[in-house]
Structure 1
Amino acid sequence: MKSHCATLLAEVRTFRQNHPEVRYVDLIALDIPGRFYGKRYPVEMLEKVAAGSPLKLPQNAVLLGAQGGLFKIGDYCFHDGDPDANRRLVPGTLKPVSWEAQPLGQMLITSDGTEAPIEFEPREVLAKVLERLHGKGIHPVVAFELEFYLFDRKLADGLPQFARDPLSDDPDDQPTLHIERLSRFAPVLDDMVQTAQAQGIDITVITAELGPGQFEINFGHLDDGLRAADWAALFCRSTRGVALKHGYRASFMAKPYLQHPGSGMHVHVSLYDAAGNNLLAAHQQQPLRHAVAGSLELLPHCMPIFSPNHNAFRRLGGTVNAATQASWGYEDRDACVRIPESDPRNLRIEHRLASADANPYLVLAAILVGLEHGLEAAREPIAPLNEDRASGQAFPLEMLEAVRAMQQQPALREGLGAEFVDVYCENKRQDHLAFQQEINAREYRWYL
């Protein structure tokens, strides 16, 4: 404990020495819908926390809905006195914030690793899954890929407007999958990359995607699943901030345009033993097939995680490379679970179903539980799409059906924790019902 405090204290003091202009630091964590909550601390108080002073925030802050409100969930929120819960600082995450008007810092906080972790905190859920896998001699290596859209900063009658191309106002004039679009938006994209790198995130490939103003950013592979999910979460925050600074609005919304592709969160996962051998490549790739089978079996029950809101379900099946069934295939982007071509050392799965606005901690936790379930059940998967284009298993395409499927799945309740599954499902159910409590103009046109 003393050595841990000494390391944190050294990190805070080094930060203060390198950034004397910073007076406040945002201490932040991701809630269930994937939004950051936290407190802004004077930097001198942060030293006290690093030295061992308690850091407490309301436990129920994790349970916020998409719009920030609290729902009645079991005994939480309105029947528990709204208690505080201990958090800890995440080492290595204290970084400067360059996109705000005033100099700031930010640092991740979490309940995992405390005396009483919050069972439904997303980072804690992933931490428990990783700890269990490590105990079984399974060590994941993970890389995220995130798609997002750039819009004009101002909305028009509440609707997003495509990002203004410096050379053209016509959205159809933005070259799809073309290196030229990267050049046209280079100032904002370069700033996004540099800002992410200043947060300690390893950015690799940048791609101009199919939609007007749509891009994809890839991150480096990490043998620390928690840090990989940290990168995805922090990248979303910094990218939104940088876009505003440049006069744009960056959004990870799953399906902002019906006529254009949605935005996904693709996750690459390989599994190694303690000696560094790729477990998926052993025995002529038989474990790979078992892992795929487990992933596909649990996938329909994980839809509230992979498609966490009403809009995310719009993304499924409507356009290019968006799956309509739980499927797999070699080098096939129509599959939910794609096996990229690679040598045995780097053999991995690419899970392509999650929307870009999903919670990265929970997405990775659900993927890993599926792989773990498959390795232990040792079943053969359905035919890959390469052999049968119709191969696949149905999954829910509506939130309330998806919640029922998730809440009743025994392997998922065991793998993610029954308390988490119940709390998460009720949060999603309440959020969906709250979203429905508005009559829009189309409803009057159709039914008045």
Structure 2
Amino acid sequence: MDAVCSDLVAEVRAFRQRFPDVRYVDLISLDIPGHFYGKRYPIEMLEKVAAGSALKLPQNCVLLGTQGGLFKIGDYCFNDGDPDAPRRLVPGTLKIVNWEKQPLGQMLITSDGTEKPIVFEPREVLVQVLKRLAGKGIFPVVAFELEFYLFDRQLRDGLPQFARDSLTDDADDQPNMHIERLSRFSPVLDDMVETARAQGIDTTVITAELGPGQFEINFGHLDDGLRAADWAALFCRSTRGVAMKHNYRASFMAKPYLQHPGSGMHVHVSLYDEAGNNLLAANGQQPLRHAVAGCLELLPHCMPIFAPNHNAMRRLSGTVNVATRASWGFEDRDACLRVPESDAKNLRIEHRLAGADANPYLVLAAILVGLEQGLEAGREPIAPLNEDRNSGIDFPLEMLEAVRSMQSHEQLREGLGDEFVNVYCENKRQDHLAFLNDINAREYRWYL
């Protein structure tokens, strides 16, 4: 048994000793739309997998559409025999699930590091970007911030209802950013934070956001970008589960209400060398400007990643603190790229464009490719919003146009991988067409 297997077996045995009532563990991985898929394993079988027994799942699970269906993408899904692909356990991710009625565990799995990694697996895409950056002496430090809405658990005529106050049973009508909202919803929010911490996630600041029932929970900064994206993915799963336990529905849908702010995924990224020096702060912050320029130039071609569905595009409609063009600025929340005030050691870029329902592995991968290409090109960015409120680069606001822009961009294909870009764009194109393939009541009302 090699050292990795030995450590995994020790991890499983320690978990079984700590949680003797757990009989099953969910082995989970994120697909292209950002949903977890996987299998529920008896805890005894998990120990065998940790010791080296084969772990395989269908390769095409990664290609599932938003509603779980398979699309024909090249030879995948229908002409390839639906082959299995090897997966492995991700060390350190075996954690208790405390929002289910019965004791349960969960653990991340991935194709990275196996004999045949899946090149379009989101986690694998990020792994390859991070490896390439490390080979160039670039080491990101990353922190995610995720906004979400609480709704009543039951929909009414298919529509979400404002969350009811657990103390007064009134609809949430507190003014935005009101600190008392945190008290009124503290039972569910406290449980979300403690549950996230039980998953190993360093949760920090909690904010009552602008919309009714909208909140934001921040994570600590990590010098492991892959683990930071793991945290974001696992947080979405645990938050939904805890909300259901408290008779709420938590949603990371990007734009659940037209009249209220959408929910975003804000990603803070700084770049360091092997000695721990902040690369963005060198030479009077000139690398910062180059990195910004690269991100802005690439951003219009990454829109299917940052706004991965029809609803996410709705969020980019000029509401407060959401950019409608690729822009940047110092301490400016209207910009796609905000440079927060900080000292040289902590100088960073906050990428604010992605919707909360975007895939965190792919969002971070796209951001890092933009930063990488900007540092290498060494170009000056457009004027910041602090100097020109009209500064910005247009980006597509319709999915099919966005897919065409992404699929044809050579630098993005080089940065994220040809096969991934082909598969991802076709998945988004077909998913969007499937969404549109419905005649709703409004269409009959307008055109019948």
Q: Structure 1 length as normaliser, TM-score?
A: 0.99
Aligned counterparts of 2:266 and 2:117: Cα–Cα separation in 1: 28
How many equivalent pairs are there? Answer: 448
Distance 1:168 1:319, change over 3 A: farther
Secondary structure, in 3 states, of the residue corresponding to 1:173? coil
Displacement after TM superposition at 1:167 (Å): 5.1
Aligned counterparts of 1:83 and 1:313: Cα–Cα separation in 2: 34
Secondary structure, in 3 states, of the residue corresponding to 2:244? helix
The yes-or-no answer on 1:166 pairing with 2:151 is no
Aligned residue in 2 for 1:151: 151
Q: What does 1:55-204 align with in structure 2 at a 5 Å threshold?
A: 55-166=55-166, 171=171, 173-204=173-204
Q: Which aligned runs of 4 or more in structure 1 are off by greater than 4 angstroms?
A: 167-172
Aligned residue in 1 for 2:304: 304
Asked if 1 retains the 8 angstrom alpha-carbon contact of 2:403 and 2:429, the reply is yes
Displacement after TM superposition at 1:178 (Å): 1.2
Aligned residue in 2 for 1:373: 373
The yes-or-no answer on 1:18 pairing with 2:18 is yes
Aligned counterparts of 1:78 and 1:49: Cα–Cα separation in 2: 29
Q: Which amino acid aligns with 1:245?
A: K
Displacement after TM superposition at 1:166 (Å): 3.3
Asked if 1 retains the 8 angstrom alpha-carbon contact of 2:339 and 2:349, the reply is yes
Displacement after TM superposition at 1:113 (Å): 1.0
Secondary structure, in 3 states, of the residue corresponding to 2:28? strand
Q: Deviations over 1:152-174 (max 9, x none)?
A: 00000100001002355664622
Q: Deviations over 1:273-326 (max 9, x none)?
A: 000000000000000000000000000000000000000000003311011100
Asked if 2 retains the 8 angstrom alpha-carbon contact of 1:265 and 1:352, the reply is yes
Aligned counterparts of 1:396 and 1:369: Cα–Cα separation in 2: 19
Displacement after TM superposition at 1:216 (Å): 0.2
Asked if 1 retains the 8 angstrom alpha-carbon contact of 2:165 and 2:172, the reply is no
- What are structure 2's unaligned runs of at least 5 residues? none
The yes-or-no answer on 1:274 pairing with 2:267 is no
Q: What does 1:314-353 align with in structure 2 at a 5 Å threshold?
A: 314-353=314-353
Secondary structure, in 3 states, of the residue corresponding to 2:302? helix
Aligned residue in 1 for 2:247: 247
Asked if 1 retains the 8 angstrom alpha-carbon contact of 2:172 and 2:213, the reply is no
| Identity fraction in percent | 84
| RMSD of aligned residue pairs (Cα, Å) | 0.9
Aligned counterparts of 2:166 and 2:216: Cα–Cα separation in 1: 20
Secondary structure, in 3 states, of the residue corresponding to 2:187? helix
Aligned counterparts of 2:170 and 2:400: Cα–Cα separation in 1: 39
Asked if 1 retains the 8 angstrom alpha-carbon contact of 2:151 and 2:162, the reply is yes
Distance 1:368 1:153, change over 3 A: same
Q: Deviations over 1:8-64 (max 9, x none)?
A: 000000000101100000000000000000000000000000000110000000000
Secondary structure, in 3 states, of the residue corresponding to 1:11? helix
Asked if 1 retains the 8 angstrom alpha-carbon contact of 2:30 and 2:122, the reply is yes
Asked if 2 retains the 8 angstrom alpha-carbon contact of 1:165 and 1:174, the reply is no
Aligned counterparts of 1:330 and 1:337: Cα–Cα separation in 2: 9
The yes-or-no answer on 1:285 pairing with 2:291 is no
Aligned residue in 2 for 1:225: 225
Q: Which amino acid aligns with 1:440?
A: N
Displacement after TM superposition at 1:114 (Å): 0.9
Secondary structure, in 3 states, of the residue corresponding to 2:422? helix
Q: Deviations over 1:63-122 (max 9, x none)?
A: 000000000000000000000000000000000100011110000000011111000000
Asked if 1 retains the 8 angstrom alpha-carbon contact of 2:166 and 2:184, the reply is yes
Secondary structure, in 3 states, of the residue corresponding to 1:192? helix
Asked if 1 retains the 8 angstrom alpha-carbon contact of 2:163 and 2:172, the reply is no
**Is the deviation greater in 175-184 or in 268-277?**
175-184
Asked if 1 retains the 8 angstrom alpha-carbon contact of 2:164 and 2:172, the reply is no
Q: Which amino acid aligns with 2:248?
A: Y
Aligned counterparts of 2:16 and 2:235: Cα–Cα separation in 1: 23
Asked if 2 retains the 8 angstrom alpha-carbon contact of 1:142 and 1:228, the reply is yes
Q: Which amino acid aligns with 2:163?
A: A
Q: Deviations over 1:334-360 (max 9, x none)?
A: 000000000000000000000000000
Asked if 1 retains the 8 angstrom alpha-carbon contact of 2:148 and 2:214, the reply is yes
Q: Which amino acid aligns with 1:280?
A: L
Aligned counterparts of 1:108 and 1:211: Cα–Cα separation in 2: 32
Aligned residue in 2 for 1:9: 9
Displacement after TM superposition at 1:132 (Å): 0.2
- What are structure 1's unaligned runs of at least 5 residues? none
Q: Structure 2 length as normaliser, TM-score?
A: 0.99
Q: Which amino acid aligns with 1:379?
A: R
